[in-house]
A and B are shown apart, each in its own frame.
Chain A
Amino acid sequence: MSALIPGILIKTALKHSLHHRARTLLLILGIAVGVSGVVAIDIAKTSVGRSFELSTDLVTGKSTHRIAGSHLTLHQSLFTQLKVSLGIKHCAPVISRYTQVKELQEKQMQLLGIDPFSEKAFRTLSLSPDENAGQKSLPETLMSGTGVLLSRSLAREHGLSIGDFLTLSWGEKKEKVSIAGLLDSASPMESAALTGILVADIATAQEILAMGEQISHIDLILDSEEAVQEIKRSLPRGAMLLSTARSSQALRNLSSAFETSLTAFSMMALFMGMFLVYNTVSFSVTQRRRLNGTLRSLGATRKDIFMMVNLEVLIYGIAGSLLGIIAGILLGKGAVHAVCATVSDMYFVLTVNQTHIAWPTLLKGIFAGMLSCVTATVLPAITASRTPPVSLSLASASETRIQKNAGLFSLAGLVLIGLSLFLFLFPHKGPALDYTGIFMMFTGAAFMVPLLTRVATALLLHAPAPVSGLLSRMALKNIVRSLSRTSVLIASLMVVTSVYIGIDTMTASFRRSVVSWIDGNIGGDIHVRSADKTAPAIPPEQVRQIKAMPGIKNVSAYAMHTILSGEKGETHVFAYDTDFSNKEWVWTAAPVQSMDTLLKQGQIQVSEIFAARHGVVPGKKITLILNTLQGEQKFFVAGIFRDFFMGGGRIIVHPATLKTCWGFDDITSMQLFLDPDRETGPMIEAIHAMTPSHDTLEVRSGKIIKNSVLEVFDNTFLITSALQLLTAIVALTGIVNAVMAILLERTREMAILRACGAESTQVGKLLMMECGYSGLMAGIFALPFGLFLSWVLIDVINQRAFGWTYGMILQPWGLFQAVIMALAAAMAAGVLPAIKAGKNDIPTALRME
């Protein structure tokens, strides 16, 4: 039979698949879905990395170290001291502040104030030769006026030219500046990096930002440890020397958990794609049982059939992978912006959104496509190769195997679930192992489906009417009879429903906790803070006046400052003057009642995100070293509280500690709790009326703040909803495939029923009942696994990766909805096959075997 191998076999297989175009398309689509997910997320991830490099490298330049102040500013005299007293050759003063630019569609830009004469060793900025031809040099341009330099490509993109004005805004402040020149670079990378910055002379930047004689930091190039130690010794109070590389790395590491989660999403898309391929190929194998039997009887070996199926799928796999890469690039381009925005919101500001498509990404896509094809095809190909060499072969062999081994499968499933539990409880860093655990958990759950289905069917068969009707009994027995197909259907639907339950319970519990945190922590009716971010203190007189206003029941007044604490980076420090917030304690060193005493003694409270990020572990490590005006100081942590404050967490200290350690003695924010009969609107008006100028205080309704926080929350979880939808679509396609395969295997049986007098609706009803029962079982099986998943998401992944903890809130209605959803999905998938079953040509079907 060697003449048949491989050409004619492949030709036969390809002709067959071309005859069934819809299914072939589904196969290609399955691979494309997986590959596009991998490529899109990889593009998003590498782009975040590249954007980070571009956003920081140009700004950091060639500096090895940086001197920064604990209050995020330094007096400019320090620069002179370094130059003159210590004779540091390479040092440059820098002002750095993020601003939004109206004319650039509110794009976030880093305003970089530099000293053109100190710059040369650090940054290689150059003016665009076209627009600035015959004009001044870069130092001359910078020092000649109050303008800023903008990227040439960005200016072109927004139709701006030299002399045009830009409106910069930060906090509530706004300032108009002119464009003094355009920056450009021959290097595409540098050119891209320039799109995230505005460059001004340091004096101009000080003027624009009203910083007086303050600067943000001093960049240094230090080539010896002696120089480092010498500078450290000579630094004044509140200034610290930081390694640029280590700070950048620490910053970059912040988003690693988020990026691992993205990888998990792409792996899920790949898994879904594989499921689609598996389903399509196994259906195709069922459809071709007769053809394969004939080929076997004509002399094709098992290996030939195995290779035929694999080669055919690989051919379509290449097509699917290419399609997936194209879709992935398009999706990736769209995702980069969203992912960069999330990273900017949650971890660090990315001023450059650069889509970076690297060859390794595309190769990874092709490799993922091919690998998923081979993996998903192995089982169906083995089934095909086992087709006996007669055309009358039945599916009973695989059924007998699965029936016999249902117990063994369940045991394997239990072992996998046990191993996943071990992974979840085993202490480790990063979510990668947890996602592996989730994969193992679902594989284990799927392995248990055959036995669970048999048990559930046995129970249902003993149920009273209407379950005891003939069609109902037939449907239930058919489910067990076609376990090789129905268990795939039930398992896939179970996984989808579990994911739905898991994510739904997690987001609902998270949302409920956020709402309760908002009510407890920022639940004041009116929020008041200074409109000036550079001078955030509310004048004491105004604090007194507001506190004394009639209609106010309580006031939470506090100081919130951002300090720089060595390589811990920016840290938010709170000190409450009066506090009506309701903190939920994760851990306390002493009873909550004595917290004030502990704070007075100089101890601190940290939010759990801060604790997670900086390694505070109750019982093991409850001290923190923070940079203060007096240098590094050790603080005891009195308690860890649950908190959803964005920006890397926060610490709470006593006002006295804030004053002695960081020199702040002010109130920056107030929350007003009104008497029940008072309305918010008129009170806001009254506060505005008593302030000398309307724009000195920012007065907002608590309700609006609450809504905007929840809006941000809901937007953050949009990606999970999209994922749920993708999972559901793929699973539904898979279910339709499985039901069609069942129908194909039973065509003759359905025809017999029809010949014996069953109406087409009765045959359709039978199939619908099978789908319905399968869906119901899938929904019920999904309940424990879904809740297990939500536990993993809430108590393991969120806690380990992001530092959030919150209680799981069970929603009986939500669980009921999930079961109904599974039932409805299965029945929806059965509609077309059921109609088809009723319309089958009876004489043709009766001739089949």
Chain B
Amino acid sequence: MDIRFSKVTKSYSESGARHVIFENLDALFPSGAVSVIVGKSGVGKSSLLNLAGGIDTPNSGTIQLGKTQITDMSDRERTLLRRKKIGFIFQFFNLIPVLTVFENACLIAELDNASPRVFRERALFLLEQTGLYHRRDAFPDQLSGGEQQRVAIVRALVNDPEVILADEPTGNLDMATGRTVLELIVRLVKEQNKTLIMVTHSPEAMGFAHQVFTFENRHLSATLTPSASATNSPLLTVTDSPALPSGDNPT
């Protein structure tokens, strides 16, 4: 499922003053591709991810997930879309402390009233894939940081979403663990043919990406990586500039 940003403007007000994060931004995150967004702190990387996931809404412009225009949807519709089509991975893992590893993994599916037989099997499969099957009854505070992030990855994938949004998933892990987690995310995403948009500071992450977006001065510039040719996405092969820079309209 492609994610397309068209003329998207996002700003916020603070003490009466308007602060623009980006204006008239156009971007395309093709289906099945791994897109990495890099940039300095506070430039708007996480805001872009929140917009893509329907957590936040733009001031103007449209955002499309496949054929669905999420900017026209109500809060409830966006929530349901998120539940069914999008998986989130956060920097601080954000597991629910009162639930076990297995319960955390099943959280979204249970919220969705999905068939227990199906999601439980899938959760156990993913826990096995991530090497956490034996820790399924443990609570988050009994796990290491790397283990917690692996549970978060399972949680994001258990509902079989089409898009995975990861906000600095290795930001809170040491380098070795971070690399393991990164490899795991990319492996699972590729194996299951998902679209991944990842915000990161990690230079290593770029090695896994099909395209790298750089945020600078409210501009988003895209670069295809050598691995872009390995993907089946026609968008990445048709043009070398799938994500168009935003209009130069600083406020």
Residues of A within 8 A of B (CB): 469-470, 473-474, 477-478, 480-481, 748-749, 752-760, 762, 842-843, 846-847, 849
Contact = CB atoms under 8 A, between A and B. Distances in A.
A846 B165 CA distance: 14
B92 A849 contact: yes
B110 A470 contact: yes
Interface string B90-105: 1010101111000100
A758 B96 contact: no
A762 B99 CA distance: 16
B111 A755 contact: no
B107 A760 contact: no
Contacts of B110: 469-470
A747 to B, nearest CB: 12
Given A470-B107, A477-B98, 11 more contacts: A470-B106, A473-B103, A474-B99, A480-B98, A481-B97, A749-B96, A756-B82, A757-B84, A759-B79, A846-B46, A846-B55
Contacts of A756: 82-83, 88, 107-108, 111, 155
Interface string B192-222: 0000000000000000000000000000000
A758 B50 contact: no
Nearest to A847: B46
B169 interface: no
B175 interface: no
A760 B79 contact: yes
Given A473-B103, A758-B111, A759-B76, A752 B50 contact: no
B12 to A, nearest CB: 9
A842 B92 contact: no
Interface string B56-67: 100000000000
B55 A755 contact: yes
A478 B98 CA distance: 7
Interface in B68-85: 75-76, 79-80, 82-84
Contacts, number: 76
A474 B79 contact: no
Contact of B98 (A481, A757, A842): A481
A461 B38 CA distance: 45
Most buried by A among B79, B86, B99: B79
A79 B29 CA distance: 116
25 contacts: A469-B110, A470-B106, A470-B111, A473-B98, A480-B98, A748-B94, A749-B94, A752-B94, A755-B88, A756-B107, A757-B79, A757-B80, A757-B82, A757-B83, A757-B84, A757-B111, A757-B159, A758-B79, A760-B79, A842-B50, A843-B50, A843-B55, A846-B46, A846-B50, A846-B90
Given A470-B103, A843-B55, A846-B90, A757 B112 contact: yes
A753 B110 CA distance: 12
B30 interface: no
Contacts of A846: 46, 50, 55, 90
Q: Which of A749, A753, A758 has the most CB of B within 10 A?
A: A758
B98 A843 contact: no
Given A759-B80, A760-B79, A843-B56, A474 B111 contact: no
A481 B79 CA distance: 27
Interface string B123-166: 00000000000000000000000000000000100010000000
Contact of A752 (B53, B75, B90): B90
A778 B46 CA distance: 43
Nearest to B56: A843
B47 interface: yes
Contacts of A481: 97-98
Nearest to B84: A757
Q: Which 9 A-B pairs give the minimum distances between C-beta atoms?
A: A757-B83, A477-B98, A470-B110, A752-B94, A843-B56, A842-B55, A757-B82, A843-B50, A759-B79
Contacts of B55: 754-755, 842-843, 846
Nearest to B99: A474
Contacts of B53: 755
B75 A760 contact: yes
Contacts of B80: 757, 759
A495 to B, nearest CB: 27
A109 B53 CA distance: 82
Nearest to A749: B96
Nearest to B167: A846
Nearest to B76: A759
A754 B76 CA distance: 10
A760 B80 CA distance: 11
A760 B106 CA distance: 19
A749 B104 CA distance: 13
A843 B46 CA distance: 9
A469 B86 CA distance: 23
B98 A474 contact: yes
A481 B141 CA distance: 13
A465 to B, nearest CB: 12
A473 B80 CA distance: 22
Contacts of B76: 759-760
A153 to B, nearest CB: 63
Contacts of A474: 96, 98-99
A473 B99 CA distance: 8
Nearest to B155: A756
Contacts of B96: 474, 749, 752-753
Nearest to B97: A481
Q: Which of A477, A478, A480, A756 has the most CB of B within 10 A?
A: A756
B160 to A, nearest CB: 13
Nearest to A757: B83
A129 B56 CA distance: 85
Contacts of A752: 90, 94, 96
Nearest to A748: B94
A770 B116 CA distance: 24
